[in-house]
Amino acid sequence: MRAARWCSNRPAAMREKLTAPRVAANGASAAPIIRTTGDATPLSGKPAGSPRRVPKIRMLRRLRPTHRPPSRHGGQPLHHPQECLQLGAGLLPAAQSAFCREVDDAVDEEAVPLEERRRVLGAWRADIARACEGGQPEFGVNQELQPIIVAHKLPFELFDELLRGVEMDLDIKRYPTFEDLEQYCYRVASVVGLLSIEIFGYENPACRDYANYLGKALQLTNILRDVRTDAERGRIYLPLCELARFEMSPDEILRFHYSERFRNLAVGVAGRTRRFYQLAGQTLPPADRRSMAAAEMMGSVYWRLLRKLEGRQFNVFGPHPTRLSKAQKLLLILRTWCRTLCGVFTPNYGTP
């Protein structure tokens, strides 16, 4: 889904440079510099559903993507569906963000034949499987990510779900029902949240429900904002059942035609989005609100974006997507952080 540009277009020389894994001066693969707090031994050995504190990890330097599977074709990355993670990227290992960006870039290189893009994603799937199963990954990003995978026992199944979500953008340009769209949102957004909370650290397993709900809320907010930019690429993420309900044709969206019928459709989708924000706020355990501060910042910013879309009656067909200013984002982030430090743990999103 067209949500944002995670990185600038890379020149050919840089793309060529990325085709080799990162190596140290002595020829060995370079490892990320990390600092652990507390015992770095994974605690996932406890019975499923039991409270636990996952050790946290902080990256001391930002990592650039060091490798992408070689491609014979040029192309440019267009966007990244996990744009919402940018706001919390400073609190996440950069290798995790780089993995998400790289696999999405592989799909978005539209000048590359479809089967070639499938092959590249297959290479990423095989390589992250090696990283998760204790093998030796070939791609530099996965080499950087492997110590984090090991420390937090991040399962291959979640990475595989994320890749399945990215693959959906290769084949699917329409979603018949909300259930179909919700599966997409789970794979490209909720799964990233489920990986992230293992790194943030949490005590109550209810945090997994929180990550699921918040991821869907953020992604649906992106979808409502980006109706035009998605339509420019021939994509309609709004469910076809909703278009039929409001007697709209897909062609109206592809022609950027704003109408009262579209506004009513968007209001309905926004209602579901609001419900996911509310569920996220209700399911986040009080004991884990501080460790989820980065996610709460994202929730605060995207909630305000949803409110701004509502204020504009969902007229999203103009040439420029609705956005918050940097000052607005910074104010919301600081407000959320201050509330967390002061022990005010009620979410500042999902309210009427």
pLDDT of amino acid 90: 46
pLDDT in tens, 257-270: 999 999 999 999 99
Residues near 300 by beta carbon (within 8 Å), at least 6 away in sequence: 332, 333, 335, 336, 347, 348, 349
Residues spanned by CATH 1.10.600.10 within the chain?
172-352
For residue 226, CA distances in Å to 9, 10, 109, 256, 284 come to 20, 24, 19, 12, 28
Nearest alpha carbon to residue 185 among 282, 83, 81, 265: 81
> pLDDT tens for residues 160-210?
999 999 999 999 999 999 999 999 999 999 999 999 999 999 999 999 999
CA 77 to chain centre: 16
91 vs 139, higher pLDDT:
139
Q: What is the mean pLDDT of the chain?
A: 80
pLDDT tens per residue, range 32-68: 333 333 333 333 333 334 444 333 333 323 333 334 4
For residue range 134-148, what is the model confidence (pLDDT) as tens digits?
999 999 999 999 999
Q: What is the pLDDT of residue 92?
A: 61
pLDDT above 80 (res 74): no
Q: Residue 107: its pLDDT value, please?
A: 87
> How far apart are the C-alpha atoms of 202 and 288, rounded to whole Å?
6
The predicted-structure confidence for 240-259, as pLDDT tens digits, reads as follows 999 999 999 999 999 999 99
Instruction: Please provide the size of the chain in residues.
Output: 352
Among 186, 7, 216, 17, which residue's Cα sits nearest to residue 109?
Answer: 7
What helix, strand, coil percent values describe the chain, rounded to 5?
55, 5, 40
Q: Residue 236's Cα: distance from chain center in Å?
A: 19
pLDDT range class, residue 83, cuts 50, 70, 90: low
pLDDT at 191: 96
Residue-level pLDDT at 71: 37
54-64 burial code (b ≥16 CB/10 A, e <16): bbbbebeeebe
Could you say which of 1.20.1250.20, 3.55.10.10, 1.10.600.10, 3.10.100.10 is the CATH number of the domain covering 172-352? Answer: 1.10.600.10
